[in-house]
Amino acid sequence: MEAPDGDERRCRAAAGERPHGLGELRQAGTYLVDDRGQIIEVSALAERLLGRTADELLGRDAHDLLHRGRHGESVPRSRCAMRQPLLAGSSGQGELEWFERGDGTLLPVSWLVTPCDAGPGRTGSLVIFYETETADPSRREPESASSTMSELDRLALLAETTTTLTASLEVEETLRRLVRLTVPLLADWAVVDLLTEHRGVSRAVVAHHENGVVIHREDLQGPMPQVPEESPMPLSRALRGVTATLTGPETYRRTPDSGIAVAQRELFRATGMRSACIVPIRGVREVVGALTLGRADQPGAFTTTDLLLVEDIARRAGLALDNARLYERQRRVAETMQRHLLPQLPVVPGVQMSARYVPAPHASQVGGDWYDAFHLPGGGTALVIGDVVGHDLDAAAGMAQICNMLRAYAGAQRELPSTILGRLDLAVTRMVQTTMATVVLAHLEHTDDGRWLLRWANAGHPPPLLVEDDGRTRLLEAGHGPLLGTGLRPARTDAVIELPRGSALLFYTDGLVESRAHGLGESFGRLRRRAAGLARRPLDVLCDLLLEGVRPADNDDDVAMLALRVP
């Protein structure tokens, strides 16, 4: 029989039902928590002392809801004395703790915690507390002798954890930082198991500190078996978000109850860990995964105080990973939309065409870069390269609108590129979302006498590059005007050139050349030299090698490229 959820418990409480028969004490309040630390029953006196109804208490995490410092501040789990007996499944008592009442005032309490049954097949703890008449705020709880770190070091580590982990929006980088924070300071092994979007499990990190360096054991990483719903084994419980646990190899020497337990037994065998903490990594809404810290070579076994600290670190890691996953999900949506908007290149007899789109590196957001090519009314081919200012979903959405408007204007009737860009500029200034963009629009025409003519206008974009068959290069800087969306309505001009036989023409966005370390002149020079050396290479090879050899390492922008070669 499954345990009732929070809504069901609240309904029972409203009806006066106490499923565990929680009795009333004359002067002390009582509440029952399950192995997740959530309140599953509360006495009437506890409701009065706390100034909260059962509906406000049941299903809530007792630590997050009630526990406060002497000034009303939130108490890190690693410093909460009541957490130690809850995690260890033992009895404990203490004084000078503060609970927050429903009206925000503080209730000074003395308390006792003892393990008990929380329903069929479930364990929990009974908390008994009473108001302390004279609480001395100047007293501080004694330092735990079992802690491997001083209180000051623990607080400094938690502060560093928050700062370090929230500084990245990449899942892989967040995991690397988590390993650096914990190994070898707390353990010589760190293992991170992550729940996937389809509720599978992936062992994302197995890292070991050895001879002064952190070594990643990729042979121990990879997909893991499913998490069994009722397994009492530590990793399974952590991945279900149940509780943190101190464990060791002896836990997994018994007959395994699941495939994931077999994998854990192999982990302990392969790593030699003799003491370990396994804690849930919780995000804002759900469990993200589990963190295992283990000691094989370091002296001493983990203590309950250590477990509280690791649990606090994992909570901070969970928030960082939640943010990173949300960010990467947004990136994937934007990139998918952007890729789907990029066209299939048209077939132009005798002309080779190739295009590339490379998303920004991991640290960046998606941009608004695009290319386009399509047949024009009355003959000829339109060639487009553009970049919407910005690096977010708004830029990608603006790119979609501008790209479609440009296609509509160019396909409606035969007009000069400068005229089309002028009309597009006016339309961009009327968009609801303020948008600016750079664009090159070119018309490729094949004349009756066999020549290939290129006519173009440039709205603030890097100039196209002409690469002749003999290796000579030219930046097509004519026809240049301001970018779109400024509201200035400038007079725009066209430029025209005859393309030499066998020449290649490259349109590109600024992600290919811009660098924080070098000026544009130097970057254009590098592009021209590299392209000259590739003049006779196949067009696809030329594009790939330009991306590989020219794109600056410090550039965090997208790159779009459109290339063609005339016969």
pLDDT of residue 359: 79
Tell me the pairing of strands 495-498 and 437-446.
Answer: unpaired
CA 70 from chain centre, in angstroms, equals 35
Task: Tell me the mean pLDDT in the region 31-44.
Answer: 90
- Phi, psi (5° rounding) for residue 550? -110, -40
Lowest-pLDDT choice from 51-65, 156-170, 278-292: 156-170
Instruction: Give the model's pLDDT for residue 2.
Output: 43
Q: Which residue has the higher pLDDT, 192 or 435?
A: 192
- Which one-letter amino acid corresponds to residue 531? A
Place of tokens 């132009």: 348
Q: Round to whole Å and give the CA distance between 71 and 82.
A: 18
Six-digit token string for 567:
């016969």
Among the ranges 273-277, 333-337, 434-438, which has the highest mean pLDDT value? Answer: 273-277
- The average pLDDT across 172-195 equals 93
Of 327-331, 369-373, 439-443, the poorest mean pLDDT is in: 327-331
Q: What is the separation of C-alpha 189 from the centre of its chain, rounded to a whole number of angstroms?
A: 24
Burial of 370 (0-12, 13-18, 19+ CB in 10 A): buried
Band of the pLDDT at 367, cuts 50, 70, 90? low
383, 531, 565 from 543: Cα distances, Å: 16, 9, 12
* Structure confidence at residue 11 as a pLDDT band (50, 70, 90): very low
Helix (H, G, I), strand (E, B) or coil at 554: coil
Matching residue, tokens 């609108």? 401
pLDDT tens digit sequence for 236-284: 999 999 888 999 999 988 888 899 999 999 999 999 999 999 999 998 8
> Who wins on pLDDT, 432 or 263?
263
Model confidence pLDDT, tens digit, residues 337-360: 666 667 889 999 999 999 999 877
- Please state the pTM of the whole predicted model: 0.55
Q: Which two tokens stand for residue 560?
A: 């779009």
Mean pLDDT of 164-169: 83
Tokens for 302, please give them. 């983990």
Give the pLDDT band (50/70/90) at residue 462: very high
Summarize pLDDT for 482-535 with one digit per residue, the tens: 999 998 889 999 999 999 999 999 999 999 998 887 888 999 999 999 999 999
Confidence at residue 546, expressed as pLDDT on a 0 to 100 scale:
95
The 10 Å Cβ neighbour count of residue 457 is 25
pLDDT at position 365 is 54
* 3-state DSSP assignment of residue 543: helix
Q: Is 339 exposed, middle or buried (0-12, 13-18, 19+ CB in 10 A)?
A: exposed
135 pLDDT band (50/70/90 cuts)? Answer: very low
The Cα-based distances of 460 to 48, 392, 466, 531 in angstroms read 70, 20, 18, 23
Q: Is the pLDDT of residue 1 over 70?
A: no
User: pLDDT value at position 14?
Assistant: 43
Within 13 Å of residue 477, how many CA atoms lie on the same side as its CB?
A: 5
Tell me the backbone φ, ψ of residue 234, rounded to 5 degrees: -55, -45
Residue pair 552/518 in contact by the 8 Å Cβ criterion? yes
Report the amino acid identity of residue 301: A
> What is the C-alpha to C-alpha distance for residues 322 and 313, in angstroms, rounded to an integer?
14
- In three-state secondary structure terms, 216 is strand
Check: CB of residue 19 under 8 Å from CB of residue 34: no
Domains of the chain listed by start with CATH number: 6-131 (3.30.450.20), 151-332 (3.30.450.40), 342-565 (3.60.40.10)
CA-wise closest residue to 35 among 320, 204, 237: 237
